Amino acid sequence: MRLPKEKGSPVRNAAGLIRPVYFVLMMALLLPALAAPFRHCLATGDVLDEKLRQLDELQREIEQYKKDIESKKETERSLSAEIARLEREIELTKKEITYIEVRTEYLSAKLDKTRKEIAATEGKLQVQQKLFEDRLVAMYKAGSVSYVELLLSAESLTDLMARARYLKEIARQDASIIEEYKKTKDQLNALKQSLEGDIQELANLRTDRERKVHQVASRAKERETYLAQIQSDRKKLEEALDELERESQLLAEEIERLQAQSSRPGKANLSMVWPVRGTITSYFGNRIHPILGYARFHAGIDIAAGYGTDIRAAEDGRVLVARHDSGYGNYVVLDHGGGISTVYAHCQSLLVKVGQEVTRGQVIAKVGSTGLSTGPHLHFEVRVQGQPTNPLNYLP
């Protein structure tokens, strides 16, 4: 059954039906304004891109640490090698903690972005729903005039063609309104699901971080146990010191080879600065070992400083070596040209990479106690053609 026609001519009723077209078309022009809240999220996107770049770099470093640990499992059996293994595992876990922290920052920024997108999408959905409701009201008010009647009541061919275009536009806009509404609703549901997933991952990351912090503490304690065994066992201590001396000699050969390849010109006048401020606890040269009771050669000076203290480049140079060894722990070698190089050992962490140019006073590492070390300090060496010389001859 059709609704009773409103009073008036079919043309008036047609006008009542056609007028909503203009309303629909105006709304179509206004809808792009609804995208404005999304533009606010673009800045957040830049932050997310930077966090993703950091995560990719950290993932590569983590994979390299895992490969290093695996490659040395079967070849190193001594106590100092066990210490080195534990330190590599500690560094790996610290990298994983850093990865978790960066991932947490990324997810926090993403959650903020998603919440803003949800708010904007809900606003857009409300406008679309109102538009749909207004269209239904307009259709009701237009009465029961059929499309055929509207066309047949045309007064001329031009009028007929105009009405046909209007009717076609009405049908297209009606379908578009419904499609956009469905699309926006699906988008809103997807955003809410993404939000829930990220919130759950964030909670899991916090739990994982706490577990890895405990792992670091446990491995650090195990390392101290191994060090205590070396200190209390004369033979093991001698073996460890012999190994350190072998590392020093191999390093001399490596430095000489790398310097020959680079041919870096030397400065006319070196002007070194102290790499770290602190008390010298052990000097360069032969010294009576406090436990062994006889002279052992010390290739540098030891400067006591707190964990995490900045270690600075003594002079301008290029990074020749940046790695971990069982004796030196985490260490850096800088080439200053003219056959002069400096070594910074037992670091907590390294802040430079091989091939990097550094300037005098630039922070290149942090004070630690890695390798054959019983407390936080910097072991600092100056080498000429790879061979150790007294650093105090170069420092102010």
pLDDT in tens, 184-242: 889 989 999 999 999 999 999 999 999 999 988 888 888 888 777 766 777 777 777 77
3-state secondary structure 133-171: HHHHHHHHHCCCCCHHHHHHCCCCHHHHHHHHHHHHHHH
178, 132 Cβ separation under 8 angstroms: yes
DSSP classification of residue 369: -
Q: Which of 36-50, 148-162, 194-208, 257-271 has the highest mean pLDDT?
A: 194-208
Q: What is the DSSP letter of 370?
A: -
Rounded to 10°, the helix 79-141/42-71 angle is 150
- Domains in the chain: boundaries: 10-230, 235-393
Tell me the C-alpha distance between 368 and 375, whole Å.
Answer: 8
> Over the range 200-215, which residues count as b (16 or more CB within 10 Å of their CB) and which as e?
eebeebeebbeebeeb
How much of the chain, in percent, has pLDDT values that exceed 90? Answer: 37
pLDDT of residue 79: 66
**Dihedral (Cα; 231, 234, 240, 243), 10-degree rounding:** 160
Say which residue the tokens 């916090």 belong to: 206
The predicted-structure confidence for 281-294, as pLDDT tens digits, reads as follows 999 998 776 556 67
Q: How many angstroms separate the CA atoms of 48 and 113, rounded?
A: 10
Residues 329, 323: Cα–Cα separation, whole Å: 8
- 340 bridge partner residues: 337, 384
What is the pLDDT confidence band of residue 143, given thresholds at 50, 70 and 90? Answer: low
CATH of domain 235-393: 2.70.70.10
pLDDT tens-digit map of 307-320: 999 999 999 999 99
